[in-house]
Amino acid sequence: MTTIYLVRHAHSPYSTDELGRGLSDEGAATIFRISNHLVDKNINVIYSSPYTRAIDTVKELATTIHQEIHLEEDFKERKVATESVPNFEESLHTLWSNPEFSFEGGESNIEAQARVVRKTEELLQRHEGENIVISTHGNLLASLLNYYDKQYNYLFWKNMSMPDIYKLSYNGLRLHKVERIWKESFFLRTITEEDASSVLHLMKIIDSESSYMLYGIGERTTSPEQQRKNIKNILKRDNATILLAMDDQTPIGYMMALGGTTERTKHSAYLVIGILHSHTGKGIGKALFEKMEQWAIAHSITRLELTVMTNNERAVYLYKKLGFEIEGMKKQAFFLHNEYIDAYEMAKILSPIPCI
């Protein structure tokens, strides 16, 4: 049995310097956890894409287990196009939907897949019976897995975390098993009625910490029993839900989706999100949005909408990055600290993505 640990690099801020851009502070903070995930796996050899962010992701592991990092060109990220594309995710969706298609100067899915499969099989023969680490990139990792099983498609790539680790077990060149071994520092689940008190407490804390929520300190007067009833009513509906971000048994964030109540509006859901200040900047917001989008598609919801204060620049940036567009502005929507604050109305249009 030969084992490959496929590592998607840790978080890296986008720039046009594909070769040289390194890890963000958030990404750098995860390299010790990556090392801890793999340090006891009896790793025999480490390979990496020549891109700095991939090398830096496994540098701590290499130092800890006294292994050299071998660079392989065939593990670099797939080239989308010669010039920057206007919408990266839409371009990737096009490439996954049409495996033989390529933008000018870029690689098709088939071309990128061919090189990563060729190099992987070469390593399987070179290191038969050993444990191999390969540090690479999300799209290339998904392309390799897609070669074996078509369930690893565009949506799989889109929902991967950064970093991520997959254990691939081989008999010769035949893939026997795929297992995700990366453990997030948080996990997401759907709310239950039993969460009423703890989630109400969470909401009140977030109200007191943030100037960007609807309620101010002490204004949320819901009782635990009322909260339980509210949750029960939401869970009865096909187009409404609440997702929780959990740290062990403690809720640290939430996202609520409330779908329209008429035939003409039931396809649309309004979103509300809140995360404890101590847990911001850890990818929880992005994860909640991505999980909610999966839920929305599965429940025939084609429009997600939200309201955000115009001065909440960090949130506006995230929402735009996730595909939300500004549809309008509500003038003087909020009154805070003796001044009026405008708000953006933002929305994202969804369409079911077919399996490739």
Domains, the chain: 2-180 (3.40.50.1240), 187-304 (3.40.630.30)
Please give the single-letter amino acid code of residue 101: F
- Quickly state the pLDDT bin for 352 (edges 50, 70, 90): low
For range 131-157, the mean pLDDT: 94
**How many other CB atoms sit within 10 Å of the CB of residue 287?**
20
180-229 confidence digits (pLDDT tens):
998 777 889 999 999 999 999 999 999 998 889 999 988 999 999 999 99
Spatial neighbors of 38 by CB under 8 A, at least 6 apart, are 5, 7, 61, 133, 165
pLDDT given for residue 355 in this prediction = 45
295-343 confidence digits (pLDDT tens):
999 999 999 999 999 999 989 999 999 999 999 999 999 998 899 999 9
pTM value is: 0.58
For range 155-183, the mean pLDDT: 90
Percent of the chain with pLDDT over 90: 74
**If you average pLDDT over every residue of the chain, what do you get?**
92
> How far is it between the farthest Cα atoms of the chain?
70
- Pair of tokens at residue 129: 């019976």
Residue with tokens 């300190």: 217
- Residue 307 contacts residue 316 (beta carbons within 8 Å): no
- Quickly state the pLDDT bin for 162 (edges 50, 70, 90): confident
How many Å apart are CA 286 and CA 89, to the nearest integer? 15
Nearest to 285 by CA among 310, 260, 250, 254: 254
How many Å apart are CA 347 and CA 293, to the nearest integer? 12
Per-residue exposure over 305-342, b if at least 16 CB sit within 10 Å of its own CB, e if not = ebebbbebeebbebbeebbbeeeeeeeebbeeeeeebe
- At CA 287, angle to CA 273 and CA 324, rounded to 5? 65
Backbone phi, then psi, for 61, in 5-degree steps?
-60, -45
For range 139-144, the mean pLDDT: 95
Nearest to 230 by CA among 191, 268, 172: 191
Percentages helix, strand, coil for the chain (3-state, rounded to 5) are: 35, 25, 35
Q: Is residue 356's pLDDT more than 50?
A: no
Percent of the chain with pLDDT over 70: 97
33 by Cβ neighbours in 10 Å (0-12 / 13-18 / 19+) ranks as middle
